[in-house]
Amino acid sequence: MHLLLFNIIDQIRSLGWGGAFELLRNGIVLGSLYSLIALGYTMIYGILKLLNFAHGDVYMVGAFLGFGVLTAFGGALNPGIGLVPLIIIMFAVAMLGSGVLGVGIERFAYRPLRNAPRIAPLIAALGVSFFLENSAQLMTNGFQYNYDAFQLGGKNGNFGPLFDPVFTVAGNPVTVVQVLVVGSAVTLMAALIFLVSRTRLGKAMRATAFDQEAASMMGIDTDRVISSTFFIASVLAGAAGVMYGLYIGTTFYFMGFLAGLKAFTAAVVGGIGSIVGAMVAGVLVGLIESYAIGYVGGQWSDIVVFGILILFMIVRPTGLFGAQAIQKV
Amino acid sequence: MAEPQPSPESTQTKPLLELEGVWKSFGGLVVIDNLDLAVNENEIVSVIGPNGAGKTTLFNLITGIYPPDSGAIRLDGESLVGLPPHKIARRGAARTFQTLRLFLNMTVIENVMASQYGQTKVGIARAMLRTPGMRREEREIRARAEEKLAFFGERLMGYRWDQPAYSLSYANRRRLEIARAMATEPRILLLDEPAAGMNPSETHEITELIGKLRDDGGYTILVIEHDMHVVEGISDRVVALDHGVKIAEGTFEAVATNPRVVEAYLGTSAAVTK
C-alpha cells in the first residue's frame, strides 16, 4: 500500500504540469463520450424507470454503422468523397440507424412488458444486450476493426488532418479530432437541454416521466413520447460510437459492455434521471479514468472508477444531482 | 297500432356525456353495477356516495384508464370505449385527481402548457430549428396557459408562473390541476373531490369557482364531492352511488333526504330512526 502511494506521488512528480494537462485533455475527451452515453441511461430511466442494459450495445452498433459508411466509401485510405462530407455522412447514418434501433428495441422488447413487474423489462434489457452483442459478433466475425482515422483525408498514405494539433498547451497538442469530439458532444448536449426545457416534446417528456398516467389523461400520447425518448437517447449513443471510432479507432462487438457500464456509473453518480447530472458525471468519470491511467496505471483504472461508484453510493446514494430528484426528466 | 309518439327523450337535446348499462368488476367485486348516467351540455352534475361506492372508478372508466366490462360510454354521441386515455382527453374529457397528480417537476405554467400537447402540432425537427411557426405556436400555447391561469384571479398569477409546482400550497395545487385540465380544451370537466382538504373559506371559493367555470367558461362539469355544502351550492343534479349502484338521482334536496342515501351513509338504524 505504501509502495503504491509512493509510486503515485512519484508519477505525479515525474509527469509534471504538462502530464497533468495531457491527462486532463484525455479525460475530457473520453468523458464527453461517457456523458453522451450516460444521457441515454438517465433519460430512459427517467421516463420508464428502466435500466436499459442494451444501451451500451446501441453505442457499439453506432460505431459499426460509422465504420460501415467509411468502408462503403472506400475506407480511410481511399475515401471516394471529401473528409468533411464523409464524416457528416458517418455521423448521420450512425445516429439515425442507432435511433431507429432504439425505437425498435423499445417497441418490441419493452413495450409489451409495460405493465409487467419491473424485473421483467430488466431481464428483457439484458436479453437485448446479449442479442445485439452476439448478432454483432456473428456479422463481424468477431474481429476488431479499425477506423484508421489518422489516415482520413491524407494523400498517398500520409497522415490526414484529424490528428493535427489545433493548439498546444504546456507542450501538449490538442488535435482536430479531440476538438471535434468535445465540440460535437457539447453541441448535442446543448440541443438536448433546449429540447427538454423549451419544446412541447420536452414538456411532454417531463410530464410523462413524472406521471405517465396523468400525462396520458392530459392528452399526451405517452407511447409516442417514450418512443421519442428512446430515439433521442440512441441517437446520442450512436454519435458517441462514431466519435469513439474516429478518436480511438478500435470497434468490436463487445465494446459496448464496458463503455456502457462506465456510462451507467456516470449516470448513477450524477443522480439517475438527472440530465445535467449525467453530463457532469460523464466528464467526471472520464477524468477519473484518465488520471487513474496516468498516475496509478492503466491496469488500475477500472478498479478506481468502479471503486468510486461504490464509495459514492455509500456516501450519497441519490447521486450528485440527486437532491433535486424532482427535476428528473 | 297508434301513431308513433315522439318519446320525451328524443325531443330533448342529446346528452353530452352518456353512460349506458356500464359494468365493471375487479375479480369478483362488482364496482360499477349496470350504471346509466347522462350529463347534459352546460350542466353541473355531482356524484356522491360513501367510500368505495365506485365514484373514482366511474371517472377512470370515462377517461379510459380501464375499459368497462360491458356497456356504452359516449361523449357527444361518439363511443369512448376502448380508446386510450390520451385520445379520450383529445376528444374532450379532462379530469383532475382526488390525490393530486400535478407534474411537480415542472413550473406552474409548464404544467398548463404540457397539457396542450394534444392540441398542438409542431414536431421535433421544426422545434429544434426554431422555425417561425414553432415560435408562434409556443407563444400561443403560453398565451392560452396564461388565460387559463387568469381564471383563478390573483391566485396563480404573475410571479407564480415560473415557480415549480411543488412550491404551491395545497389549495393552489388543486386550482392548478383544474387549470391544467382546462388547457386540454375539454367539453366536459371531471373534477374528483375539488374541495378535499380545503379549509372553509377555500371551500367556499372553490364552490364559486365551479359555478364560474360553467357560467363564464362554458364547461359541462361532472364532479365527485364529499362536502355537502359544496354539492348543495353547485349541483343542478345529484347522483348517489352505493356499491356501484345508482341509488338516487335528482335535485340536491331530493337526494339528500332520500332514505336509501341516508342509509348508505349512516347505516340502516339511522335511516329508521330518522
pLDDT of residue A198: 86
Do B264 and B246 form a contact (C-beta atoms < 8 A)?
no
N residues, chain A: 329
**Whether residue B85 is found in the same domain as residue B194:** yes
Do B60 and B19 form a contact (C-beta atoms < 8 A)?
no
Q: Which residues of A touch B183 (CB under 8 A)?
A: 218
CB contact under 8 A, B127 and A213: no
Helix (H), strand (E) at residue B22: strand B17-26
Angle in degrees, CA A71, A77, A80, rounded to 5: 65
Nearest CB partner across the interface for B97, out of A191, A214, A326: A214
More confident residue, B4 or A1: A1
pLDDT classification of A1: cutoffs 50, 70, 90: low
% of chain A beyond a pLDDT of 90 = 71
Best A218, A221, A226, A227 residue to mutate vs chain B (most B CBs within 10 Å): A218
pLDDT of residue A193: 94
What are φ and ψ of residue B152, in 5° steps? -100, 25
Cell of A329: 426528466
What are φ and ψ of residue A252, in 5° steps? -150, 165
ipTM over 0.90: no
Query: Which stretch, A169-173, A312-316, B206-210, has highest mean pLDDT?
Result: B206-210
CB burial string A264-284: b at 16+ within 10 A, e below:
bbbbbbbbbbbbbbbbbbbbb
Cell of A25: 485533455
N residues, chain B: 274
pLDDT of residue A236: 97
Does any CB of chain A come closer than 8 Å to the CB of residue B81?
no
pLDDT of residue A325: 45
Q: Is B23 left (phi over 0), alpha (psi -120 to 50) or beta?
A: beta
CB contact under 8 A, B166 and A326: yes
Q: Which residues of A touch B164 (CB under 8 A)?
A: 326
Do A41 and A264 form a contact (C-beta atoms < 8 A)?
yes
pLDDT classification of A28: cutoffs 50, 70, 90: very high
Residues 6 or more apart in contact with residue A135 via CB below 8 angstroms: none
pLDDT in tens, A47-89: 999 999 999 999 999 999 999 999 999 888 888 888 899 999 9
pLDDT in tens, A148-169: 888 887 777 678 888 899 998 8
Nearest CB partner across the interface for A219, out of B90, B122, B137: B90
Q: Tell me the average pLDDT across A193-204.
A: 91
**Whether residue B136 is found in the same domain as residue B53:** no
For chains A and B, CB pairs below 8 A equal 109
What are φ and ψ of residue B102, in 5° steps? -75, 165
Q: What share of chain A is helix, strand, coil (3-state, %, to 5)?
A: 75, 5, 20
pLDDT tens across the length of chain B (274 residues): 445 554 444 445 689 999 999 999 998 899 999 999 999 999 999 999 988 889 999 999 999 999 999 999 999 999 999 999 999 999 999 999 988 999 998 999 999 999 998 777 766 666 677 778 788 888 899 999 999 999 888 888 888 899 999 999 999 999 999 999 999 999 999 999 999 889 999 999 999 999 999 999 899 999 999 889 999 999 999 999 999 999 999 999 999 889 898 888 887 665 555 4
pLDDT of residue A238: 97
pLDDT of residue A251: 95
**Whether residue B159 is found in the same domain as residue B230:** no
pTM of the model: 0.89
Do B60 and B85 form a contact (C-beta atoms < 8 A)?
no
Sign of dihedral through CA atoms A150, A296, A31, A260?
Answer: positive
CB contact under 8 A, B86 and A221: yes
**Whether residue B129 is found in the same domain as residue B166:** yes
Q: Tell me the average pLDDT across A12-41.
A: 93
Closest chain A residue to B117 measured between Cα atoms? A220
**Whether residue B145 is found in the same domain as residue B266:** no
pLDDT of residue A160: 84
**At A165, which amino acid appears?**
P
CB contact under 8 A, A219 and B181: no
CB contact under 8 A, A220 and B115: yes
Say how far apart CA A256 and CA A187 lie, in whole Å. Answer: 23
Does any CB of chain B come closer than 8 Å to the CB of residue A207?
yes
Residues within 8 A of B (CB atoms), A 212-241 only: 213-222, 228
Nearest of B102, B37, B127 to residue B74 by alpha carbon: B37
Domain that holds residue B155: 103-183
**Whether residue B128 is found in the same domain as residue B254:** no
Domain count, chain B: 2
CB contact under 8 A, A213 and B184: no
Does residue B5 lie in a domain region? no
In this structure, whether the domain defined by A30-327 belongs to CATH 1.20.1050 is answered with no
Which CATH number covers residue B213? 3.40.50.300
**Whether residue B207 is found in the same domain as residue B273:** yes
**Whether residue B110 is found in the same domain as residue B143:** yes
Going by their DSSP bridges, the two strands A172-175 and B29-39 should be labelled as: unpaired
pLDDT of residue B6: 47
**Whether residue B225 is found in the same domain as residue B272:** yes
**Whether residue B121 is found in the same domain as residue B18:** no
Does any CB of chain A come closer than 8 Å to the CB of residue B151?
no
Nearest of B32, B86, B93 to residue B241 by alpha carbon: B32
Q: Tell me the average pLDDT across A234-253.
A: 95
Nearest of B188, B44, B173, B36 to residue B111 by alpha carbon: B173
Average pLDDT for chain A: 91
**Whether residue B127 is found in the same domain as residue B257:** no
pLDDT of residue B88: 95
Sign of dihedral through CA atoms A239, A240, A243, A249?
Answer: negative
User: Whose grid coordinates read 491511467?
Assistant: A293
Does any CB of chain A come closer than 8 Å to the CB of residue B97?
yes
**Rg of the Cα trace of chain A?**
20
pLDDT of residue A321: 85
**Whether residue B123 is found in the same domain as residue B83:** no
Residues 6 or more apart in contact with residue A235 via CB below 8 angstroms: A95, A96, A98, A99, A102
What are φ and ψ of residue B191, in 5° steps? -105, 120
CB contact under 8 A, B114 and A213: no
pLDDT in tens, A9-21: 888 888 888 889 9
CB contact under 8 A, A214 and B63: no
Q: Which residues of B touch A273 (CB under 8 A)?
A: none
Choosing from B183, B208, B229, the residue where a domain stops is B183
Nearest of A129, A137, A143, A140 to residue A257 by alpha carbon: A129
pLDDT of residue B123: 67
What are φ and ψ of residue B221, in 5° steps? -130, 130
pLDDT of residue A326: 44
Best A193, A195, A196, A200 residue to mutate vs chain B (most B CBs within 10 Å): A200
Do A157 and A75 form a contact (C-beta atoms < 8 A)?
no
Say how far apart CA B12 and CA A93 lie, in whole Å. Answer: 61
Best B56, B108, B124, B182 residue to mutate vs chain A (most A CBs within 10 Å): B124
% of chain A beyond a pLDDT of 70 = 97
Would you call B132 helix, strand, or coil by DSSP? helix
Rounded to the nearest 10 degrees, what angle do helices A200-210 and A222-247 cross at?
110
Closest chain B residue to A218 measured between Cα atoms? B115
CB contact under 8 A, B118 and A200: no
Q: CA-based diameter of chain A, in Å?
A: 64
Cell of B170: 395545497
Does residue B6 lie in a domain region? no
Q: Which residues of A touch B115 (CB under 8 A)?
A: 207, 218-220
Residues 6 or more apart in contact with residue A212 via CB below 8 angstroms: A222
In chain A, domain spans:
30-327
Does residue B97 lie in a domain region? no
Work out the minimum CA distance from A57 to partner chain B, whole angstroms: 25
pLDDT of residue B59: 95
Q: Out of A2-16, A39-53, A189-203, A304-318, which region has the weakest mean confidence (pLDDT)? A: A2-16
Give the sheet arrangement for strand B93-95, strand by strand: B93-95, B188-192, B220-224, B44-48, B237-242, B245-250
Choosing from B152, B183, B214, the residue where a domain stops is B183
